């Protein structure tokens, strides 16, 4: 069949080798530790250094700052491996912060932080969501008041992936509350020994148990004014809107990888499991369900590959990235739910990967901007012709 022979256009021989190396690393070094990490609510700190040693951190950035001289395809390959193996170490936010620094950081900021992020000596997190402001980034309340050579920060952030280990937080703040979105700025906050900064305990999520997610608190925390991202205040909202497609496509890539993994697991199960004297696959309902899901998986794969190509070319726009994020994660959750049903009672047992996928996938429709917001972004591009 044609789709069985389909190869993603961005997956070159070099990318295949990179992905094979990543797959071995995941299988040999990460997966055996996941149960312990889930119990403690975060991965071990030394794992970041191992990821750095393997060249898996900042693979798409230039080597002059410690990166791997690759492009978005290298990051896509890593996300696919994490989906295929059923575990991601939380490097998405780390890459996203590096991407902001690469685009908007001064030479001094790049030299200060990117090499350490590439090695894993610096773990990065994103501080955008707040208890009263999630997808609506204009509604943030965290303030940064200029005081001489510093900014004084007050406020809190929530749902911070990597927050437990974060040495560097890219923080969205209001530098001028009277200007609405135009008063939002991004500050790079170094957390080590920072007075007025504290972390909450890992939040108790229904899924993604090994990826730490915490609240961060700032009480008169002082950060050098030189840590402002960009050449002036008030650029933060525009910076976020310009770079969110980078993040949202990552979520879409993971969604497609999870769809494909769910189908692989389910096909194995329905061919082995017996019901009414025959394999589950012989039942018409099973075959029709799988036929529908396979078709949707093929559509998702071709679309996400095209989005990756557009991202490599610098052409991916906000509306298309929103489509990838919304439709991909919607189909991901639907597919995993349908697959779990075909597992019957076994699908409800945590020892079966499909049950973990069911819990882990639900967050995909929320973080990176709720799917309802994605629809609004798409709708704004619709004009009569």
Residue 384 belongs to some domain of the structure: no
Please say which residue of 67, 88, 119 terminates a domain. 119
Residue 339 belongs to some domain of the structure: yes
Answer whether residue 215 shows pLDDT above 90: yes
Residues 374 and 283 in one domain: yes
Please say which residue of 201, 234, 267 terminates a domain. 234
CATH number of the domain at 37, please: 1.10.540.10
> Model confidence over 336-369: pLDDT tens digits?
999 999 999 999 999 999 999 999 999 999 999 9
Residues 275 and 222 in one domain: no
pTM score of the predicted model = 0.94
Residues 185 and 98 in one domain: no
Residues 361 and 257 in one domain: yes
Answer whether residue 279 shows pLDDT above 90: yes
Answer whether residue 131 shows pLDDT above 90: no
Q: How many domains does the chain have?
A: 3
Please say which residue of 83, 104, 119 terminates a domain. 119
Residue 385 belongs to some domain of the structure: no
Answer whether residue 4 shows pLDDT above 80: no
Residue 32 belongs to some domain of the structure: yes
Answer whether residue 154 shows pLDDT above 70: yes
Mean local confidence (pLDDT), 26-42: 96
> Model confidence over 168-198: pLDDT tens digits?
999 999 999 899 889 999 999 999 999 999 9
Q: In the predicted model, what is the mean pLDDT of the chain?
A: 94
- Identify the pLDDT of residue 275: 82
CATH number of the domain at 207, please: 2.40.110.10
| Owning domain of residue 114 | 3-119
> Model confidence over 284-327: pLDDT tens digits?
999 999 999 999 999 999 999 999 999 999 999 999 999 999 99
> Model confidence over 80-117: pLDDT tens digits?
999 999 999 888 999 999 999 999 999 999 999 999 99
Residues 193 and 65 in one domain: no
Residues 362 and 242 in one domain: yes
- Identify the pLDDT of residue 276: 85
Q: Is 247 a catalytic residue?
A: yes
CATH number of the domain at 340, please: 1.20.140.10
Residues 30 and 157 in one domain: no
Residues 189 and 264 in one domain: no
- Cα dihedral across residues 258, 264, 267, 273: positive or negative: negative
Residue 222 belongs to some domain of the structure: yes
Residue 219 belongs to some domain of the structure: yes
Asked which of 24-28, 271-275, 283-287 is least confident by mean pLDDT, the reply is: 271-275
16 Cβ partners below 8 Å, 6+ apart? none
- Out of 80, 215, 247, 289, the active site residue is 247
């Amino acid at each position: 069949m044609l789709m069985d022979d389909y190869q993603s256009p961005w997956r070159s021989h070099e990318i295949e080798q990179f992905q094979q190396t990543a797959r071995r690393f995941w299988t040999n070094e990460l997966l055996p530790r996941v149960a312990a990490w889930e119990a403690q609510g975060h991965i071990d700190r030394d794992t970041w250094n191992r990821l750095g040693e393997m060249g898996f951190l900042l693979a798409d950035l230039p080597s002059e700052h410690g990166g791997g001289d690759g492009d978005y395809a290298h990051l896509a390959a890593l996300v696919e491996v994490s989906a295929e193996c059923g575990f991601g170490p939380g490097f998405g936010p780390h890459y996203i912060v590096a991407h902001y620094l690469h685009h908007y950081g001064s030479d001094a900021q790049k030299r200060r932080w990117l090499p350490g992020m590439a090695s894993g000596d610096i773990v990065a997190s994103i501080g955008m969501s707040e208890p009263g402001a999630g997808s609506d980034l204009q509604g943030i309340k965290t303030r940064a008041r200029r005081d001489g050579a510093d900014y004084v920060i007050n406020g809190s952030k929530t749902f911070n992936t990597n927050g437990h280990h974060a040495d560097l937080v890219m923080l969205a703040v209001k530098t001028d509350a009277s200007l609405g979105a135009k008063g939002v700025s991004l500050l790079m906050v170094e957390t080590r020994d920072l007075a007025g900064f504290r972390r909450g305990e890992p939040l108790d999520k229904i899924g993604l148990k090994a990826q730490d997610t915490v609240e961060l608190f700032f009480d008169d925390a002082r950060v050098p004014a030189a840590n402002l991202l960009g050449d002036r205040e008030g650029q933060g909202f525009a910076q976020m809107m310009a770079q969110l497609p980078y993040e949202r496509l990552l979520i879409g890539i993971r969604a497609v990888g999870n769809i494909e993994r769910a189908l692989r697991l389910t096909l194995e199960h329905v061919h082995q499991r017996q019901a009414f004297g025959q394999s589950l696959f012989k039942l018409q309902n099973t075959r029709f369900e799988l036929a529908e899901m396979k078709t949707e998986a093929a559509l998702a794969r071709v679309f996400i590959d095209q989005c990756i190509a557009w991202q490599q070319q610098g052409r991916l726009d906000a509306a298309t990235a929103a489509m990838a994020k919304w439709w991909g994660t919607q189909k991901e959750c639907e597919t995993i739910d349908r697959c779990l049903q075909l597992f019957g009672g076994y699908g409800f047992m945590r020892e079966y990967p499909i049950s973990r996928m069911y819990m882990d996938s639900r967050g995909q429709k929320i973080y990176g901007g709720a799917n309802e917001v994605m629809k609004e972004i798409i709708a704004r591009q619709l004009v009569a012709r």
